Structure formats: C-alpha cells, structure tokens
Amino acid sequence: MSSFHVLIAGGGIGGLCLAQGLKRAGISCAVYEAAAEIVHSGYRLHMNALGGEALRACLPDNLYELYLQTSRRTPEREMSVMLDIHGGEIWTRPHIGPPNEGPRPHTAVNRRTLRQILATGLDDVLHFGQTAVEYEADDDEVRLLLDDGSSAVGDVLVGADGIHSVIRSQLLPEVDVIDTGMRGMWSIAPLTDDLAEVMPAALFDGFAIVTRGDGTISAIGVYDPRRPIAEAVADLAPGAEIGHVDPYVMVTYGSDLGAERGPALPDFANDSPAELHDAIRRAMQGAHPGLVELVERIDESTISPSAIRYLEVADPWPPSRVTLLGDAIHAMPPSFGAGANSALRDAACLVRSLEDAVHGRKPLLEAISEYEGQMRAEVFPIMRASADPDAVHSDHVPDLAG
C-alpha cells in the first residue's frame, strides 16, 4: 500500500486535523474544502483532553505548542457554572472528558485561529473552493466527484463535511438532521480591563451559562490567549497565515434546549444585528450590572443568528472505503462543548487505524470497522447526552456508559 491515498471532503477542524495526522504518519492525502478560504465561523471553542491530546498526536511539535500558547489562559476553576441574571451561582460541574490537569491544561481556543494552525503546512494537500458532490466506490478504489466537474481517486474517502454532509447523505441516507427548536444569536464583546472589573467573577471560569428562568439562556465564555497570537506565531511558525485576535468574551442568547419558543423569543433569522442586540439588551434588563455592561459592549458587527440542529444517532453500518468523522456523523447540541473535541478525537483515531492498514497490520476494512466501532462506543453516548433537555439547565450528570 505504498501509494495509499486518502481523500478528505471538508476542511473544518476534524478534516484538517486528520490531514495533519496523515501527513505526520507519511500517508498521502488531499483535502477538498468548499469555502474559498478559512472563514470566520463561530468564535470560542471549549477544549478538553479528548480534543487536546488528539492535537498532540496529529500536529507537528511546533504547531501543537502554538495551539497551547494561543489557547485561553488557565481559569481559576476549569468547570461549567450556571448563574442567575443577578450573578448568583446556581450550580457548577466539571467539564466532561478525560483528566485535564498540569501547568497548561486544555482550555479554549478561537475557532478560526485553530483552523489556521491546523492548515499550516498543508498547502500541497489543501484545495479550497472545491465542493464534494457525490462519490463512486468499488472494491478497489473510491472516486470523489467535485462541483467543478473534476474528480479525485483514492483508497479511502472520509466525509468531514459537516452536519449537512453530502457524503453521509449518500452513505447513510436514513440519518436525519433534527431541529432542536433552539434559536438565538452569537456575538463577541472586546475584553478590556474596565469590563473585566465589573463582570461577575464566575464568568471567568471555564464556561458560564446565565439563565433567566424563562426558557432562555446566555452562554458566556472568555477568550484571552496565554500569549499574543502574532508573537507566538513569529516564534513557532514564522510566516504562517494566522490572523490577529484581541481578547474577547463570547456572548450568546436564545432558547434553551427543550424550551418552547414563544413570541418573546422570535426566530431571529431575519433580524438585523441591531435588532438582535436590542433583544439581548431587553433580556438583561435588571441583571447584574456587569452582565448589563457586557451586553452593551457587544460588537454589532460580530452578531449573527443561530439555529441549533443535530443528527440522529446512526445504527451500525457495514464498513467500506467510505467513512465519516465529526459533525458529518455525530453533530450534537453544544451542551457539553464536546463537538469539536469529538471531531479531533475521530481524526487521531482514524489516523491510527489507517496506519494499521497501510503497514499491513490489519486489512483495510477491518481497520475502518474498528475506527467506526470505537466512535460508536466513545462518541455516540456523548451525542445522546448532549441532546437530553436536562443537559444545559440543571446539574445533570450525563450517563456516558453507552
């Protein structure tokens, strides 16, 4: 299998991590990403040891160190906390995942920064502006058809193309996308010293959820890198195209999982940024002064509406030369901050399985079957727990036994 070649549909976090791991293992690959570049899509991502250790396994040492240095400073309490709008603590719970300790535990990253780190050094394999349309597979190879009329041939195709994956829709057409009914908005507010002074201290813990007790919540997370990004890049990856990001606070507002959306919380999809800003201002009336000030400082240019959807849990399927990772197979609500971490976990696991196949330790389909079986055992329980209506608004401890 010296000419073994892997096709990756989708250049998100999971697809890029997979490409880095394959490159490190000496396995040929190519990534086909629909967007013309790494775009802004969401903001802060919670990181745990599941995802962080996958990055350690897949990235070259300098890029893994760059990830650590551009991660959020270690908070006093690395846990989730729920507050009422007056800043009172309702409950706390540890983040899910393996033990996450040491002098620089995994904390949080800026999503685009992580994608830019993951793309560094992949110029020869990363193809922007090419959208996967469908595939053709037989016992010997798989062909990926692209929207520009071209195609690519490889030994394995990995669908890493997100919740609306065209690869999954062909491989597992019975798996449906579920609309949670959760509607809301994402935004960021610049984190300044004077804002930090008035914010409730618990907002600086690992992750905070503020509840009004009326079926709406705000998720709030600080991003303050351990080292200025430009300085870390110049030291560890000179010339890498990684944009500047100032410290910020991510602020969301919307309906809670399982809550019915009433007239007080519209769909948001057709509202302007100014209208969305006014909506969260109204929601924070009478709240802790630091929360009111945080909302007032939101940069309206960063506001965008959101709708939370997830996938049905797929029944086991027979292994083939086509497989899936990340949101393409287990998109989940953000209840435990596990989506990106699970995609990274997939990438590292799949690299190990493909290494077994390439080096003749296992037949290819057996290696892919083991990868998919481990995913079902380790990630699907998190997926189910994330969709539980109790996941966000109580001190619910998820059952991840299977």
Which domains can be identified in the chain, with CATH numbers? Answer: 5-76+105-178+309-393 (3.50.50.60), 180-307 (3.30.9)
User: With bands split at pLDDT 50, 70 and 90, how would you rate the model's confidence at 390?
Assistant: confident
* Cα–Cα distance for residue pair 72/105, rounded to 1 Å: 10
For residue 96, pLDDT beyond 90: no
pTM here?
A: 0.95
Torsions phi, psi for 54 (to 5 deg): -65, -40
- 33 beta partners: 128
Quote the Cα angle for 139-145-147, to 5°. 170
Q: What is the pLDDT of residue 267?
A: 73
* Cα–Cα distance for residue pair 75/249, rounded to 1 Å: 14
Q: What value does the mean pLDDT take over residues 306-313?
A: 94
* Cα–Cα distance for residue pair 309/311, rounded to 1 Å: 7
For residue 2, pLDDT beyond 70: no
Question: Of 42-51, 126-135, 391-400, where does mean pLDDT reach its minimum?
Answer: 391-400
157-175 pLDDT, tens digit per residue, is 999 999 999 999 999 999 9
Instruction: State how far the alpha carbon of 142 is from the alpha carbons of 18, 158, 348, in Å.
Output: 18, 10, 22
Q: What is the pLDDT of residue 391?
A: 67
* Cα–Cα distance for residue pair 151/287, rounded to 1 Å: 56
Task: State both tokens at 328.
Answer: 């393409």
**Burial (0-12, 13-18, 19+ Cβ within 10 Å), 149:** exposed
Task: State both tokens at 362.
Answer: 């296992």
Q: What is the pLDDT of residue 214?
A: 86
CA 252 to chain centre: 16
206-220 pLDDT, tens digit per residue, is 999 999 888 889 999
